Amino acid sequence: MNSRQRQGPLDGLRVIDMSGMISGAFATTMMGDFGADVVMIEHPEAGDPIREWPIKTDDGVSLAWKSLGRNKRCVTLDLGSDRGRDLALDLIEDADVVFENFRPGTMERWDLGPEDVHAVNERAIMVRLSGYGQTGPRSRKPGFGTVAEGVSGWAHANGFPDREPLLPPISLADLTAAQFALQATLMAIFERDVGRGGSGEGQVIDVSLTEPLWRLFFGEVEAYDYEGHVRERTGNRHPSTAPRNIYETADGYMTMSASNQKIFERVAEAIDRPDLIDDPRFEDNEARVDNVEALDAEIEAWTRQRPTEEAIEVLEANDAIVGPVYDMSDIREDEQFRARGNFRTVHDDDVGEIETFAPVPKFSRTPGDVEFLGPRHGEHNVEVYVDELGLSPEELAELEAEGVV
């Protein structure tokens, strides 16, 4: 149906993206960055909510959408209508992967559930993202990442001990779920096409917003089961290693982590305090964790006397692991980010020439690419419905008049 070639290791993979907002959308953005043909479905009357997120251009175009919608072909379709469902199944018939993130039960109500999908394409991998997952007593509740960040244990553990739990400044639950969804999709593709000869069958992947964040707390389930341990907030410190913190300098802040004995000893030498090495309070990692406030005070007494650049230079000369605290303007000018080719200039019809993230990570032979930024609402209706599905221009016009597309 679609013979368009793209750059990257997923070239030839067809993805139908019915997910809105962030979790499914970021997973399919990554897939699009690395060559997958992603066809994103939006409702005819209203586009993805991200299209309304700030920061916007003077013409009201969301730069968040330009980033999250890149490398995707956008079509409009009312999935809740009979003709919309039929068109969706026509698209799915030729797809490798289908993403959706509606409230559990919605796709079944539209006759687009897993049985319907696999009836037209038994090889399709259906990825379902929701707040709490497809099963369990909370499964039918609506769920956003903010709630997941609370339920997963993340907010409780984040922040400073004398302050309230702290939510992240980015959509962390959604973005983490996106990574789990992406890796699960690639696992399922491997099982279908390669593993033990390849089963040739698709399957359903059930991803909640809560469980991926919770899974990142490795060792915590075991610690609670073994001795009832519950992680508490430790600010910028790590509960299992010291020193590790953000340290104030004469003109700002810097980061440092000395997570093993040799690195700690190099830090002590660098700050002209070799006596700390033999201090019983700091003799090993366990002692340093127990006495972390005293240790950080000794280190910060040194860093506060020096500008960030000088402090980093001295510590790095002793092979310590340190770095500055950047904002986006610092990152844009940083020689390491530039040398790695992390910025890509793209022409966009709405915005003009603009820099965006280059695909991450780097591939030696099949690197990804940014072909275009987030398209306009329904921009690819003709290309997908007429050129690929075979509808006539008259049929498409009729569907538009009926509000189906």
List the catalytic residues: 174
What lies within 8 Å, CB to CB, of 88 at 6+ separation is: 16, 18, 41, 77, 79, 112
Taking the alpha carbons at both ends of the chain, their separation in whole angstroms is 20
Residue type, 126: M
Across 131-243, the runs of DSSP E, i.e. the strands, are: 204-208
Query: β-pairing, 253-257 with 322-324?
Result: antiparallel
3-state secondary structure (DSSP) of residue 240: coil
Task: Give, in degrees to the nearest 5, the angle at Cα 210 between 228 and 170.
Answer: 110
- CA–CA separation, 16 and 376 (whole Å): 17
The residue among 265, 293, 290 whose CA lies nearest residue 277 is 265
What lies within 8 Å, CB to CB, of 154 at 6+ separation is: 168, 172, 173, 213, 214, 216
What lies within 8 Å, CB to CB, of 12 at 6+ separation is: 35
The residue among 141, 151, 137 whose CA lies nearest residue 104 is 141
What lies within 8 Å, CB to CB, of 391 at 6+ separation is: 385, 399
The residue among 51, 60, 53 whose CA lies nearest residue 373 is 51
Tokens of 251: 């003109």
The dihedral formed by the CA atoms of 375, 111, 125 and 32, expressed in degrees to the nearest 10: 0
Q: Is 48 exposed, middle or buried (0-12, 13-18, 19+ CB in 10 A)?
A: buried
Across 176-280, the runs of DSSP E, i.e. the strands, are: 204-208, 244-248, 253-257
149 contacts 173 by C-beta, under 8 angstroms:
yes
- Give the CA distances from residue 309 to residues 238, 245, 301, 391, in Å, rounded to whole numbers and listed in that order: 24, 17, 16, 62
